[in-house]
């Protein structure tokens, strides 16, 4: 496994004062086709209780994965869902989504989850929005003989002599995501994935390199294209694997809108001000 770039998440806030750790990629230099990786992890409800009140999106996809706690999602399409521990939610926002994500009233034991933004091809940014979650079809999970677990959050993954096929199969840029849990002293080896961009985000514990260096949580490792995946931990680890094909297109970004040109951003603002995103 060859790592060509390592990035650290930094503390910031979003929504109504929600504390998050973020790796931004709106410059298109390192994360393409991903735009942003936000991790929400706290046992203090004051860090997340404000949630994310109603707000619009256009031109990108939101991918939400909850490890602990949960949110209630609402949108103008009529979706109202409780997204709880183990659940995944995906919205391909297309020409416009208005939604909110608020902490569940009974989520009193803390929150740990992710919201990841994926860019959309320019030609698809103005198509109708799509909503899907795994509440009815949970993400498949397998554990190998060494106690290493892989949960297929999106796409299809070959692991423990079987194919794990998520119900989420049509993400932009051929994106696929998995959550891997490694017990102390264990290793995970996977052959190269088909996608051009493969990244590893350590969300729990730490990894140990072949040279004996420890890589702590909140670090993103970007692999050389075509590299295999070889993870080893001495003390236990939780790692997200993110894969996708680069779009290699201009990125125009303003708040919740991600388009290809500044003119498209200005049109999105006008459409929002004119009420074309609807209400929830």
For residue 112, the SS3 value is strand
- State pLDDT tens for residues 250-270: 999 999 999 999 999 999 999
Q: Looking at the chain, how many residues does it have? A: 280
Give per-10-residue mean pLDDT for the chain (280 aa).
97 95 97 98 92 96 96 94 96 97 80 97 97 97 97 97 97 98 97 97 95 94 97 97 98 97 98 91
Contact 113, 85 (CB under 8 A): no
DSSP category for residue 83:
E
Distance CA 143, CA 219 (A): 24
Q: Residue 265: enclosing H or E segment and its boundaries?
A: helix 262-273
What does pTM read for this prediction?
Answer: 0.96
Task: Pinpoint the alpha helices (H) of the chain.
Answer: 262-273
For residue 200, the SS3 value is strand
Query: Both tokens of residue 57?
Result: 């999106």
Distance CA 157, CA 165 (A): 7
């Amino acid at each position: 496994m060859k790592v060509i770039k390592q990035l650290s998440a930094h503390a910031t806030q979003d929504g109504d004062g929600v504390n998050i750790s973020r790796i931004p990629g709106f410059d298109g230099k390192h994360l393409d086709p991903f735009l942003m990786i936000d991790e929400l992890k706290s046992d203090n409800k004051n860090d997340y209780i404000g949630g994310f009140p109603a707000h619009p999106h256009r031109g990108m996809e939101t991918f939400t994965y909850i490890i602990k706690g949960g949110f209630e999602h609402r949108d103008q399409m009529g979706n109202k869902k409780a997204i709880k521990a183990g659940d995944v939610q995906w919205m391909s926002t297309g020409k416009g989504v208005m939604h909110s994500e608020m902490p569940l009233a009974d989520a009193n034991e803390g929150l740990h989850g992710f919201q990841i933004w994926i860019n959309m091809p320019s030609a698809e940014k103005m198509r109708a929005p799509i909503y899907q979650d795994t509440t009815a079809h949970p993400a498949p999970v397998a554990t190998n003989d060494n106690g290493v677990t892989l949960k297929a959050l999106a796409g299809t993954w070959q692991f423990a002599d079987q194919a794990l096929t998520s119900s989420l199969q049509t993400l932009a840029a051929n994106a696929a995501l998995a959550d891997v849990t490694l017990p102390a002293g264990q290793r995970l080896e996977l052959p190269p994935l088909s996608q051009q961009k493969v990244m590893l985000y350590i969300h729990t514990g730490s990894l140990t390199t072949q040279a004996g260096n420890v890589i702590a949580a909140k670090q993103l490792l970007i692999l050389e294209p075509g590299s295999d995946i070889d993870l080893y931990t001495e003390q236990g680890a939780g790692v997200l694997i993110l894969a996708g094909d680069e779009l290699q297109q201009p990125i125009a970004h303003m708040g919740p809108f991600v388009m290809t040109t500044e003119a498209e951003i200005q049109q999105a603002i006008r459409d929002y001000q004119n009420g074309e995103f609807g209400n929830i």
